[in-house]
Amino acid sequence: MTARAAAFAALVETDPLRKCAAVMAIDAPITGEPPAQAFDWRRVPGRPDKPVLVHPRAVPRRAVGSLEGRCALLHAVAHIEFNAINLALDAVCRFDALPDAFYVDWLSVARDEARHFSLLRARLQRLGRDYGDFCAHNGLWEAAEKTAHDPLLRMALVPRVLEARGLDVTPGMMNRVREVGDGDTLAILDLILREEVRHVAIGTRWFRHLCAQRGIEPVATFRHLLREHGVRLHPPLNLDARAAAGFVDAELA
């Protein structure tokens, strides 16, 4: 099995524990072979029966001051990280004819996301709950489906919009967790925030690569895509983290 085929096997794996193990076991160099058309995309994404997926507005909001509230927060972030594993693997398998470094980059992201998910799930389990115990929404994967036809659009709207939003909101989560004295959860969120900067930077790098390949200007193109897809960003905005992830002054303004 080639590394890209192994990535697809991990993508369609439904058991979270086995999915994470499969991601970590891929150690061969990633190339563009086999082509995306060789894969059975009807099996994508691989995920367990739970959590039950509901409309985003139907996901209950709970204060982190209670144990149940902290577990709900951990579950929400774990669900994001689980989807992020699938998103990174999908990028590896979905898009053909890109430099080998593209596949290497996104496999490295999949490994990070699998580690993040495992840390969050272990923390949930120590608090008496598990992944799947709360409902969740499917917004992140829906973005993958909407951008499946174009790697430039995927790089713009997933890492540079949705994952960058994590850079904005995680400090607020950390402050709430710090206030209730949950140092173990705080340490996990701090690790995720620091490593997600690199993931957004990878999205930025390949967005610009694809813009250059197509002869289009990246800042104007990004602004156009935000308007075209109805993306509106609201405070808080973590400008320092966004700058570290490659957003230029014209974008930050």
Convert the pLDDT of each residue in 84-97 to its tens digit.
999 999 999 999 99
Task: Read off the pLDDT band of 146 (50, 70, 90).
Answer: very high
Query: Is it the case that residue 185 has pLDDT exceeding 90?
Result: yes
What distance in Å separates the CA atoms of residue 163 and residue 80, rounded to the nearest whole number? Answer: 9
pLDDT at position 62: 78
What distance in Å separates the CA atoms of residue 5 and residue 119, rounded to the nearest whole number? Answer: 26
The residue-averaged pLDDT of 75-103 equals: 96
pLDDT at position 87: 97
Beta-bridged to residue 53, according to DSSP, are 136
CB burial of residue 94 (10 Å; 0-12, 13-18, 19+): buried
Lowest mean pLDDT among 20-24, 56-60, 116-120, 245-249: 56-60
Q: And the tokens for 177? A: 């967790």
> What percent of the chain shows pLDDT beyond 90?
91
What distance in Å separates the CA atoms of residue 191 and residue 40, rounded to the nearest whole number? Answer: 35
What distance in Å separates the CA atoms of residue 109 and residue 86, rounded to the nearest whole number? Answer: 10
> CA of 95: how far to CAs of 68, 136, 212, in Å?
40, 28, 17
Quick one: DSSP state of residue 52? P
Instruction: Answer with the residue of higher pLDDT: 47 or 63.
Output: 47
pLDDT at position 236: 93
The residue-averaged pLDDT of 12-30 equals: 93
What distance in Å separates the CA atoms of residue 240 and residue 63, rounded to the nearest whole number? Answer: 27
Q: And the tokens for 165? A: 């939003």
> CA of 119: how far to CAs of 20, 129, 130, 149, 221, in Å?
11, 13, 12, 32, 37
**Please, which residues have CB within 8 angstroms of residue 59's CB and are 6 or more apart in sequence?**
76, 134, 135, 136, 137
Query: 100-126 vs 16-25: helix axis angle to the nearest 10?
Result: 140
Query: Is it the case that residue 57 has pLDDT exceeding 90?
Result: no
Lowest mean pLDDT among 33-37, 162-166, 223-227: 33-37
What distance in Å separates the CA atoms of residue 245 and residue 25, rounded to the nearest whole number? Answer: 28
What distance in Å separates the CA atoms of residue 32 and residue 95, rounded to the nearest whole number? Answer: 8
AA identity, residue 10: A
pLDDT at position 5: 93
**Please, which residues have CB within 8 angstroms of residue 196's CB and are 6 or more apart in sequence?**
163, 166, 167, 170
**What is the domain partition of the chain in residue ranges?**
3-252
Query: Is it the case that residue 98 has pLDDT exceeding 90?
Result: yes
